[in-house]
Amino acid sequence: MQSESKTLNVKELVLMGLMIALVYLAGSIIKIPSIGGFVHIGDCMVFLSVILLGKKKGAISSALGMFLVDVLGGYYLWAPFTLIIKGTMAYIAGYILERIKSNNSFINNIIAFAVSGVFMIIGYFIAGTIMAGLLTEKAGIIQGLIYASKDIVGNIIQVTTGVVIALPLSEVLIKAKKAMLN
């Protein structure tokens, strides 16, 4: 039993592959252009991957799916940031869901998704500040912060949309997961 929890079985690998694909599709098919990139609905699939797979596997699936969105979409410079930010975002949501002892999964999901969403917004703000330094040789910290601030509203809209879409779907997914395990 001990080795079973440390290895992936075929069902888990298939579910992880499916979630990588769904995260990628949600992040790449419906894109709304913004000043520095685009807004998408991929965050809802990031949240759902955590519901389905848990914090570690959900984080890996989310990170890889969103990494592919950037790489295949031509946003190569953002891909390493996305890999770290989206993976950590999913891990935070999964960690919070594991730790909350309340029986109200809807409220738990709101808390976990909101906290991890705030992390994402801060993460991309920091990444944007770093990108300003990489893209312009004379950008100071103030210019970097100004550059990064252009995406805050888009990221808030993106994460809010992801939460709004993921909340009702997560309730359905939780019930389906329980039925599948029984």
54 torsion bin: left (phi>0), alpha (psi -120 to 50), beta (else) = left
Mean pLDDT by 10 residues, the chain (182 residues): 60 93 94 75 95 95 98 94 98 95 83 97 94 76 85 91 94 82 65
Residue-level pLDDT at 110: 95
H or E element at residue 106 = helix 105-135
Domains of the chain (ranges; CATH) run: 2-181 (1.10.1760.20)
pLDDT score of 24: 98
- The pLDDT score that the predictor gives to residue 92 is 98
- List all residues 6 or more positions away from 138 whose beta carbon is below 8 Å from its beta carbon: none
The half-sphere exposure of 129 on its side-chain side, counting CA atoms within 13 A, is 12
Cβ(51)–Cβ(80) under 8 Å? no
Single-letter residue type at 103: N
